[in-house]
Every structure is written in structure tokens, then in C-alpha cells.
Amino acid sequence: MLDELGGVTDEPGRLTRTFLSPAMERANQLVGGWMREAGLTVREDETGNLIGRLNSAVPGAKTLLLGSHLDTVRNAGRFDGALGVVLPIVALAELKQRGVTLPYHVEVLAFSEEEAVRFTGAYIGSKAYTGRLRAADLKLRDARNHTLREVIEAHAGRPYVPPKAAHRPGDVLGYLEVHIEQGPVLEAKKLAVGVVSAIASQTRGRLTFRGKAGHAGTTPMDLRRDALAGAAEFILYAEAFAGARPPLVATVGTIQVPAGAANVIPGEVRLSLDVRHPSDAACAAALADLVRQAERTARRRQLTCEWQPTMQHAATPCSPELTKQLARSVRAVQGRGLSLVSGAGHDAVVMAALTPVAMLFVRCRDGLSHHPAEYAAPKDLAVALKVTVDFLQRLAAES
Ligand code: GLV
Ligand code: MN
Ligand code: MN
């Protein structure tokens, strides 16, 4: 299933699926078919979230949510996001085959956007599902200068009014997200799976350096105000700054020279900055230092520098109760448990505003993710599947 889904792409020869793209529609059709085969009823909301629901016959039952995202980074692997959608479907199909019925409703959520590739703000899918999509989000623009609102309205074919949350908190049991670890800890500890205790604090934004464009052949070096040279100095500073302060991480992942040409001194440069730390205070302090340094670099080079935050989330603790239940299933299946902090962001961050969340991490080869060679072994996926089935059944026994 993951291989098949990994072939559904917007770019020939490599896996890229972005918010409300043609490949996302095809992915929803494919996954929607698997949901139906597992006995779920399927709907899609206006923001392209795919929602598969299995109703329990028990009156007044609450709903357990399981899921992750179907969008990807550019040139992605097959597992990031997709695993957390496919695995619960297989778990429910397995229970159906065993003739097990659950005393609670289940929804499998395939969120339409988590990676912030098309728009610089992440979590559009889970924000829409939890009623947290704000006016500021709808004003974000993609590379073609379309606002998020315009893109949603073109897809839905009608004016978009951001919905209320899909559920009242009291109607939900919790949210479980299964995800590849995207790091090397499980591999080092020789474990197939582990539970997540918390998700690190994260800030993303855009830095714009402005200088003066000019002729590359006629302007002497000492009379230039080169925005790209200033940005380059800042990028190396950010690398050294975070490198000296583990577990802080800082990444400049994109850089654009909008009017760039080989024979023009760069007049304007935009770069993305992503800063993460398990502690909110340390993350905020590091970001403030980095922005101050960008401003200092700009001043010294007679440039200007503007910081525009696009995304921020505080460190998100997983629910101790739900995680304890998940950890019991991990011990039952794997013998040994392990708890780790996630440096990556996940839909669970947004879902935590609605309901208790728990996350199961699955070992991935070389800790590699956001890369086409991303890989999790079938035997590890089997462990994750057994843990999920065990978790669903323990929850059934207790509710
Ligand atoms: C999501 O993949 C992230 O960047 O943490
Ligand atoms: Mn990702
Ligand atoms: Mn992910």
C-alpha cells in the first residue's frame, strides 16, 4: 500500500504531493478505496482532508481518532505521514477479519497538509479539522500568489467559511498518530517502535535581506550592497550558533533571489529559517538571537533585514494517560519500551488542542527522512501494526 501510494505524485520520477494538488486528489481516491474495503464510510472536507469513519453500535459511544498526513515534502520518502494513515486502516481491516467489533467509534484521518510546502504555514488539514484555521492562515500565498482561501474555494466550488471543530472534546477518546521516527534513536537502541513523550517547540519564518541590485561587471566590490552575500553570512552564523548549543537545531531550507541573474548583483533575497528546541524558552531565546544577528549583519553591510514569522508552536506534551496505555501495548508486543522526544512536528501538535494525543514511532533506516531513501522495514511495520491492534483492543476492554 505504501509503495502504491508512493507512486502517486505531482512530479514525474520523484514523490511530491502538496496541498489540494492533482496527486493529492488521486491519493485520496486510492486511500478512500482502502478505507471502504476496511468497512469505513468515507468523506472529504473542503480542505481536502479524507475522513474514514467506523461507527460502533454502542449508544453514546465516544470516538477514537487515528491518522497523519498524506501531503509530502518535495522529493519525499514513502513513509512520512502515509504510514500513519495506512496502518490504522490495516489494523481496522484486521479486526474486521477477526470479527472484533469495537465499543467506540473510530475515525481514520488523512490530513491534506502538514509539511508547509505549498504555503509556508503548516498543519492546514488538522487546523481545519479542529476548527483552528484563522483569517491569517487564509491569507497565506503560494508561489503562484494565490491565497489559501482562493485555493480552497476553487477546490470546493463555493465560498469558504472555516468550520467549527469536527468534534466536541468530550465526544473524543483521544488521537493516536503512528509515524516513522525520522531520527536515529530507535535504530541505535535496536528497537522497532517507541512512544513519544513530547514534540519539540518550533518556529518558522522568512528573512528578507534587501540591498541594491546592480551591474555585475561594472560595480566595484567595495561599492556593492549584495543581499545574497549578507544572507550567506547569516546562514553560516546560524549553523555555527545552533551547532554550539545542542539540542538546538536551526535550518535555512530555502533561499530565493527573486530577480536573480548571473550578471546582476542580488538586490533582494528571501530565506526560510526553522528553529527548534525541546524547551519553549530556549527556542524563543535562540530565535531572538538569530534575528538580532541577521539585523546586525544587514546593518554592517548596508542592507536591511525583515523577519516575518510564518509558524510557531510550543512544545507539545503527549497525554501521559494515553501514552501509558500505548506503552503497555508496546511492552506486550516488543518486550521493551522506550520513550523519546520528537524533534519533528506532527499533526498531533494541533490535535492536542482538541483531545489527548499519543504517538508511536517506528524505526527508520539510518534515521533518514524527508529523503527518497526513507525506509522502514516490513518487520518493524508488523510490530507497529500489532501494537496498534493491541492498543485498540485494550481500549475496547476498558471502555
Ligand atoms: C515536519 O515534517 C517537520 O518539519 O517537522
Ligand atoms: Mn515531514
Ligand atoms: Mn510527517
Chain centroid, CA 242 distance in Å:
22
Q: Is the CB of 374 under 6 A from ligand 1?
A: no
Taking only Cα atoms into account, the Rg of the chain, rounded to an integer number of angstroms, comes to: 22
Tell me which ligand sits closest to the C-alpha of residue 253. Answer: 1
* Gap from CA of 260 to ligand 3 centroid (Å): 32
Tell me which ligand sits closest to the C-alpha of residue 77. Answer: 2
* Rounded-to-integer distance, Cα 318 and Cα 217, Å: 57
Q: What is the 3-state secondary structure (H, E, C) of the chain?
A: CHHHHHCCCCECCECCCCCCCHHHHHHHHHHHHHHHHCCCEEEECCCCCEEEEECCCCCCCCEEEEEEECCCCCCCCCCCCHHHHHHHHHHHHHHHHCCCCCCCEEEEEEECCCCCCCCCCCCHHHHHHCCCCCHHHHCCECCCCCEHHHHHHHHHCCCCCCCCCCCCHHHEEEEEEEEECCCCHHHHCCCCEEEEEEECEEEEEEEEEECECEECCCCCHHHCECHHHHHHHHHHHHHHHHHCCCCCEEECCCEECCCCCCCEECCEEEEEEEEEECCHHHHHHHHHHHHHHHHHHHHHCCCEEEEEEEEEECCEECCHHHHHHHHHHHHHHHCCCCEEEECCCCHHHHHCCCCCEEEEEECCHHHCCCCCCCCCCHHHHHHHHHHHHHHHHHHHHHC
Chain centroid, CA 124 distance in Å:
10
For residue 141, what is its C-alpha cell? 500565498
Does position 106 have pLDDT exceeding 80, yes or no?
Answer: yes
* Gap from CA of 11 to ligand 3 centroid (Å): 19
* Gap from CA of 218 to ligand 1 centroid (Å): 44
* Gap from CA of 81 to ligand 3 centroid (Å): 4
Does the pTM exceed 0.95?
A: no
Nearest ligand 1 atom to the CA of 344 is 5
In the predicted model, what is the mean pLDDT of residues 53-82?
A: 97
Decide if 180 contacts 90 (C-beta within 8 A): no
* Rounded-to-integer distance, Cα 187 and Cα 198, Å: 19
Decide if 190 contacts 375 (C-beta within 8 A): no
Nearest ligand 1 atom to the CA of 274 is 4
Nearest in space to 346 (alpha carbons), one of 130, 209, 152, 202? 202
The preferred substitution site among 115, 123, 347 for testing ligand 1, maximizing ligand atoms within 8 Å of CB, is: 115
In the predicted model, what is the mean pLDDT of residues 46-66?
A: 97
Nearest in space to 309 (alpha carbons), one of 396, 381, 382, 203? 203
- What's the one-letter identity of residue 70? L
| Tens of pLDDT, residues 273-325 | 999 999 999 999 999 999 999 999 999 999 999 999 988 999 999 999 999 99
Does position 121 have pLDDT exceeding 80, yes or no?
Answer: no
Quickly state the pLDDT bin for 223 (edges 50, 70, 90).
Answer: very high
pLDDT of residue 120: 79
Neighbours of 320 (CB within 10 A): 11
Residues 6+ apart with CB under 8 A from 62: 104, 105, 171, 172, 173, 399
* Gap from CA of 55 to ligand 2 centroid (Å): 30
Q: Is the CB of 345 under 6 A from ligand 1?
A: yes
Q: Is the CB of 344 under 6 A from ligand 1?
A: yes
* Gap from CA of 114 to ligand 3 centroid (Å): 7
Quickly state the pLDDT bin for 122 (edges 50, 70, 90).
Answer: confident
* Gap from CA of 319 to ligand 1 centroid (Å): 20
Tell me which ligand sits closest to the C-alpha of residue 68. Answer: 3
* Rounded-to-integer distance, Cα 200 and Cα 278, Å: 4
* Gap from CA of 384 to ligand 1 centroid (Å): 21
The preferred substitution site among 16, 19, 126, 182 for testing ligand 1, maximizing ligand atoms within 8 Å of CB, is: 182
| Residue minimizing CA distance to atom 1 of ligand 1 | 345
Q: Is the CB of 115 under 6 A from ligand 1?
A: yes
Tell me which ligand sits closest to the C-alpha of residue 342. Answer: 1
Nearest ligand 1 atom to the CA of 81 is 2
Nearest in space to 160 (alpha carbons), one of 169, 152, 170? 152
| Tens of pLDDT, residues 343-399 | 999 999 999 999 999 999 999 999 999 999 999 999 999 999 999 999 999 999 987
Neighbours of 136 (CB within 10 A): 10
Decide if 93 contacts 37 (C-beta within 8 A): yes
Taking the CA atoms of 334, 338, 342 and 344 in sequence, report the sign of the dihedral they define.
negative
In the predicted model, what is the mean pLDDT of residues 110-131?
A: 94
* Gap from CA of 347 to ligand 3 centroid (Å): 8
- What's the one-letter identity of residue 117? V
Q: Is the CB of 71 under 6 A from ligand 1?
A: no
| Tens of pLDDT, residues 229-275 | 999 999 999 999 999 999 999 999 999 999 999 999 999 999 999 99
| Tens of pLDDT, residues 146-202 | 999 999 999 999 999 999 999 999 999 999 999 999 999 999 999 999 999 999 999
Helix axes 22-37, 82-97, angle to 10 degrees: 20
Tell me which ligand sits closest to the C-alpha of residue 74. Answer: 2
* Rounded-to-integer distance, Cα 20 and Cα 149, Å: 12
What is the percent of the chain with per-residue pLDDT over 70, rounded to a whole number?
100
Nearest ligand 1 atom to the CA of 343 is 5
* Rounded-to-integer distance, Cα 300 and Cα 91, Å: 59
